[in-house]
Amino acid sequence: MGPGASGAVAGGGSMSRVAVLGGGIAGIVSAALLAADGHEVELFEKSAELGGRAGRWDARGFRFDTGPSWYLMPEVFDHAFRLLGTTAADELDLVRLDPAYRVFFDGADPLDVRSGRAAAVAQFEGIEPGAGARLSAHLDSAARTYRLANDRFLYTDFSHPRAFVPGRALRELPALSRLLGRSLQSLVEGSFTDPRLRQILQYPAVFLGASPALAPALFHLMSTFDLDDGVLYPRGGLGVVVDAFSRLAAEAGVAVHTRTPVRRILVDGRAVRGILVERHGALCEERFDRVVSAVDMHHSDTALLPGRSRERSLRHWDRSNPGTGAVLAMLGVRGRLPELRHHNLVFTRDWQANFDAIFGAVPRVPDPASFYACMPSATDATVAPEGHENLFLLVPVPADPGIGSGGLEGAGAAEVEAVVDRAIAALAEHAGAPDLPERVVLRRTVGPADFERDLHSWRGSALGPAHTLRQSAFLRGRTRSRRTRGLFYAGATTIPGIGLPMCLISAELVLKAFRGDRSTGPLPVAETQRWV
């Protein structure tokens, strides 16, 4: 038994033999928590490495995170580590970013966004008179909403009526109803007129796989993470977070099987009896008491489970919103790019046209496109050779595998490579580096077809189903299967949702479900550290 068994989470009930499917962070942490709680756990991952969307690619002295690159909600990471008997401070070398990020606009000077209430309020006031006070009120509401969500909604699987009408939430119901009844775009545009400020407060919708017009105003709570709390970076990249949890899982006794795809979840009547797994080209039935599927829920429904055991019908999936797709690029660049910061957002003037292209009735690749550029070499010298920059680009596109796959050195699908070429050209202009395309010495691209093939991601979605009103909270999914005893779900495609922090919480929800714990808040552990 590992550190978690020393008292952080132990005490959960009778031991069972558990298969965890999927080696993303939700699968890793689910396995670690269950093993630390006394269960016999085996983790199955079809790829050679753990991490899932939070992958890593090393090439020619460059080290790239191939997925998530923002370290937000640090108290959630710390809480997960504490459940396993350690802390984020002990496991990670966390660096506070200042500025938190830089925003490039069409026809306006770039803006360095600094965290902390006073700095953010002063910055907004300097751009739009009166906006400082309105931002303070906006952030007060965001912080209040997040506290309520953390106490009552994020850490529950909604299996108990208490989750729907918690005591303190009764006082908040009118405000919650208003936030659920309007969009994030409507909320922000009702308080701010400068288009730059509107974009800064609405861009978190992209983290939710949605557009500001589709995401409920409830999600304005995300502004407290970057503007109030600040943005951190784990030195070495997000891959070190995966490494830390993987080590803790191994120490807790988890048996990890990579390059071992699971082909079926085996069901007898209404109960799981094991899995059908491929080992060295041969199919083997293996018996387990319980199965945790931490892979894409659409893949579980349509490829792993028999039809009678599916959580959702094919008709349901056809009506659902898969969220945004993405074209990614990992670029090694010769020389420096001093105009870029660690995190950079590039917004087009008419970004509504971007969202219309992605989520409209006839989806298409936006051109010009808003996009995100991460340059961790601005903070961390270990991610690139001396005299070079590490550049990661993410361009939101429709969730459509037909856009194609990426490749090495321009060998990807024509549309994928064209999206990257346009993003490089736009970044070159904003960064005052017209020779940027010629300075790229390493190039790897990823398209929606790669997400579908490598991650079994539904329709090539980059993040998971969009957080629309119909696909959030108890409408998003369940931790415990409604149809099959012994089957549980974790990850970005179920509750509570998209992003590494939500995946960590989904793993804790699995542990609570195993224990029969229907409480609405986090499991008690030693005091978690909030990075303020």
Q: What 3 state SS string does 226-283 have? A: HHHHCCEEECCCCHHHHHHHHHHHHHHCCEEECCCCEEEEEEECCEEEEEEEEECCEE
Mean pLDDT confidence for 17-44? 98
Task: Of 174-178, 207-211, 302-306, give the range with the top mean pLDDT.
Answer: 302-306
Whole-number Å distance between alpha carbons of 30 and 317: 26
Do 265 and 382 belong to one domain?
no
Q: Looking at the predicted structure, is the pLDDT value of residue 491 above 90?
A: yes
Do 332 and 446 belong to one domain?
yes
What's the whole-number average pLDDT of the chain? 91
Q: 466: Cβ–Cβ under 8 A, 6 or more apart, which residues?
A: 208, 209, 210, 214, 215, 321, 322, 323, 324
Helix/strand/coil percent split, the chain, to 5: 40, 20, 40
Q: How many CB atoms are closer than 10 A to CB 484?
A: 22
Q: Give pLDDT, residue 173.
A: 63
CB 400 within 8 A of CB 459: yes
Spacing of C-alpha 223 from chain mean position: 16
Do 42 and 84 belong to one domain?
yes
Whole-number Å distance between alpha carbons of 309 and 231: 42
Q: Looking at the predicted structure, is the pLDDT value of residue 1 above 60?
A: no
Confirm whether 523 is domain-assigned. no
DSSP 168: T
Confirm whether 414 is domain-assigned. yes
Spacing of C-alpha 155 from chain mean position: 16
Do 185 and 268 belong to one domain?
no
Give me the phi and psi of 265, to 5 degrees please.
Answer: -95, 120
Q: Give pLDDT, residue 179.
A: 77
Do 286 and 169 belong to one domain?
no
Q: Looking at the predicted structure, is the pLDDT value of residue 150 above 90?
A: no
SS3 of residue 16 by DSSP: coil
SS3 of residue 145 by DSSP: helix
Task: Of 104-108, 145-149, 235-239, give the range with the top mean pLDDT.
Answer: 235-239
Whole-number Å distance between alpha carbons of 200 and 69: 18
Q: Give pLDDT, residue 13.
A: 54
Mean pLDDT confidence for 202-208? 91
Domain end position, chosen among 229, 247, 267: 229
CB 311 within 8 A of CB 478: yes
Do 386 and 444 belong to one domain?
yes
pLDDT band at 91 (very low <50, low <70, confident <90, very high): very high
Q: Give pLDDT, residue 7.
A: 41
Quote the tokens at residue 346.
């590039």
- Host H or E run for residue 120: helix 117-127
For 207, 212, 465, 467, 475, the CA distances from 470, given in Å and listed in that order, are 17, 15, 10, 8, 6
Query: What is this structure's pTM?
Result: 0.93
Q: Looking at the predicted structure, is the pLDDT value of residue 470 above 80?
A: no
Q: Looking at the predicted structure, is the pLDDT value of residue 415 above 90?
A: yes
Do 471 and 511 belong to one domain?
yes
Spacing of C-alpha 205 from chain mean position: 12
Give me the phi and psi of 290, to 5 degrees please.
Answer: -140, 150
Do 266 and 182 belong to one domain?
no
Q: Give pLDDT, residue 376.
A: 99
Residue that is written with structure tokens 């689910």 in the block: 30
Domain end position, chosen among 411, 434, 455: 455
* Lowest-pLDDT choice from 233-237, 310-314, 392-396, 500-504: 310-314
Do 328 and 368 belong to one domain?
yes
Q: Give pLDDT, residue 495.
A: 85
Do 83 and 178 belong to one domain?
no
Rg value, the chain, Cα:
22
Mean pLDDT confidence for 272-277? 98
- Host H or E run for residue 27: helix 25-36
Confirm whether 524 is domain-assigned. no
Q: 243: Cβ–Cβ under 8 A, 6 or more apart, which residues?
A: none
Whole-number Å distance between alpha carbons of 374 and 213: 25
Spacing of C-alpha 65 from chain mean position: 13
Domain end position, chosen among 436, 455, 474: 455
Confirm whether 111 is domain-assigned. no
What order of strands is seen across the sheet that includes strand 17-21?
255-257, 40-44, 17-21, 290-293, 487-489
Q: 358: Cβ–Cβ under 8 A, 6 or more apart, which residues?
A: 211, 324, 325, 366, 396, 397, 398
- Of the chain, the percentage scoring pLDDT greater than 70 comes to 91
Q: 428: Cβ–Cβ under 8 A, 6 or more apart, which residues?
A: 434, 435, 436, 437
Q: Give pLDDT, residue 466.
A: 80
Q: Looking at the predicted structure, is the pLDDT value of residue 166 above 90?
A: no
CB 17 within 8 A of CB 255: no
DSSP 471: G
261: domain CATH number is 3.50.50.60
Do 224 and 166 belong to one domain?
yes
Residue-wise pLDDT tens digits, 296-344: 999 999 999 998 998 888 887 888 888 899 999 999 999 999 999 999 9
Whole-number Å distance between alpha carbons of 169 and 174: 9
Confirm whether 173 is domain-assigned. yes
Per DSSP bridges, beta strands 56-59 and 262-268 are unpaired
Q: Which range of residues forms the domain containing residue 422?
A: 322-455
Whole-number Å distance between alpha carbons of 375 and 75: 24
pLDDT band at 531 (very low <50, low <70, confident <90, very high): very low
Structurally, the chain folds into a number of domains equal to 3
- Host H or E run for residue 345: strand 343-347
Confirm whether 461 is domain-assigned. no
Do 373 and 448 belong to one domain?
yes
CB environment 258-274: b (16+ within 10 A), e (fewer): eebebeebbbeeeebbb
Mean pLDDT confidence for 385-393? 99
Task: Of 136-140, 159-163, 175-179, give the range with the top mean pLDDT.
Answer: 136-140
Q: Give pLDDT, residue 437.
A: 98
Confirm whether 402 is domain-assigned. yes
Confirm whether 61 is domain-assigned. no
* Lowest-pLDDT choice from 54-68, 114-128, 373-387, 454-468: 454-468
